[in-house]
Amino acid sequence: MWDEPANYLDVFNQDQLIKLLREVKPAMLLIEHDKYFIEQVADQRIVISN
């Protein structure tokens, strides 16, 4: 379970993380507000809204 893993990363390191997650394809539960990051790494998503 990851809670906003890209939150404090600069753009370069976010891109590196995206690349790694695409290569490894781990099973994980990801909580993230950054839609771009989600679109890059997730193949399924659940949206919870108020």
Per residue in 26-50, pLDDT tens? 999 999 999 999 999 999 999 888 8
Write down the pTM of the prediction: 0.82
Q: Which residues contact 22 (CB under 8 A, 6 or more apart)?
A: 40, 41
pLDDT score, position 42? 94
CA count, 13 A, side-chain hemisphere, 23: 6
